[in-house]
Structure 1
Amino acid sequence: MTAGGETISKQPPHVQLTSVHLDYGTTPILKGVSLEIARSEIVAIIGPSGSGKSTILRAVNALAPIREGSIRVGGIEVNDRRLDARALRRKVGMVFQSYNLFPHRTVLQNVAMAPVDVLGENRAEVERRARALLARVRLDGKENAYPGELSGGQQQRVAIARSLCMRPEVMMFDEVTAALDPETVKEVLSAIRDVARGGMTCILVTHEMRFAREVADTIVFIDRGEILARGSADTFFNDPGHPRAAEFLAQVL
């Protein structure tokens, strides 16, 4: 491709899954999943329970070994036997349903701990970054609170700030609002929206269809371990392109 006489090279995908197969015991969970995600793209993965959505995220973060295929994040081959897991975790941040905060540490300590203890970064510098991130997720003033003093939504926002403090290239969110009451869902979704709009490559597994439509560039529908449909948010929700995806939307919208 050329523009103005100059050759423009297509950027390689930031995250790429190629014919990924993954089993739990003798049960196939992912059956030849292929997916390309561009840098700064926001992808929402949707589908029924047990379809393999969360397993994709776990495979990308090397938390679930694949049987066959390839996963690449930046220049890292995730399924390489010589994988440097620490290098991968520096590139990929992940926020789960459960907050996994240390109850005996303050909010600031929870956010700053990994860059200091795992990466060996300067504590004062990390704490400055942590305070800025807590302000970004609207938790300024809570630095010295303990997790038990916070609501579920506040704890989930601490978990988001903690993951961002590692300065990842890719952020993955796995049904992060599933355990929250309706009143606190909005504040967590607002924090994720801010992260996504900041240019971060994001992969969301969510059951919040309105949020997926609003924030995602691309919707991926998976069922029984296979990607059955994908497209831009507007296109997908107007015309899912597959009968099973249309059936799913009719049930959840």
Structure 2
Amino acid sequence: MTYTDDKRSVYDLAMDYIFSFYTHPPTNKEKKIIIYKFKEYLSNGWNQVEIFNHLEVIKKNKNLRNDCYLDKALKFYKGELKLRNLINPEEQHYHNELRIFPGTKVITVNYDTGVFEESSEEIFLEMRASYTVKNLYEYFVSKETMYLESLKDKKQFVGALDWLLTRFEVDEILFMIDKANSKVKNDPNSLKLKSPLDLKLYVEDGQKAMTSKKNALTYNEADKIVLKDRTDIFNKFFEKGDNDE
């Protein structure tokens, strides 16, 4: 299995784990333990890619029970993590890079009635399980009009982001990137960034944007975690109902 660092919540990771390592439906108690274990490792700096890479190594040991993989693969790993997870999956985040929610509603025409209708879509909100400096780097460089083309030294680039991360939260830096990108794109007098360190010029703007987003979400009661219903996916995979204990 090749695991990627796309947007996944801790509950997505738990499902991926169950589908990869269980041949029978786990009990509700087992599910809770799996989710707890993922939260524990993610909070201690593991990112989702490295978790599953090491799980694959342990999976080759046929003598282990399904419920042992998480502990065996991670608790006894002695190496150094290549990329540390920068976020806690149990904390509320406000930038959309760190939030998982349904896509934009789709308006369609009901040709039987001639009425425009909004597509029904499940409402949910979960937080991203892991986010590394690699993800932050990729988000920064996606704003191509914001920085000088000469900014090509990835090692130096990532080093600057690491420095910023010692002083600001990931959420704050993401909002700072957005404000810098908007300023450079819309203001002809604004200079392009020579380094990620130039984001320091947008600290106040970024923090204001984050506070505004936080207040808007709170006012609209859109700041509560609402778990996605995965029952159908789970049941279809095992072709049977949940196995309660």
Identify the TM-score tier after normalising by the shorter chain.
under 0.3
TM-score (norm 2): 0.22
> Which structure dedicates a bigger proportion of its chain to helix?
2
Q: Bigger radius of gyration, 1 or 2?
A: 2
> Which structure dedicates a bigger proportion of its chain to strand?
1
TM-score (norm 1): 0.22
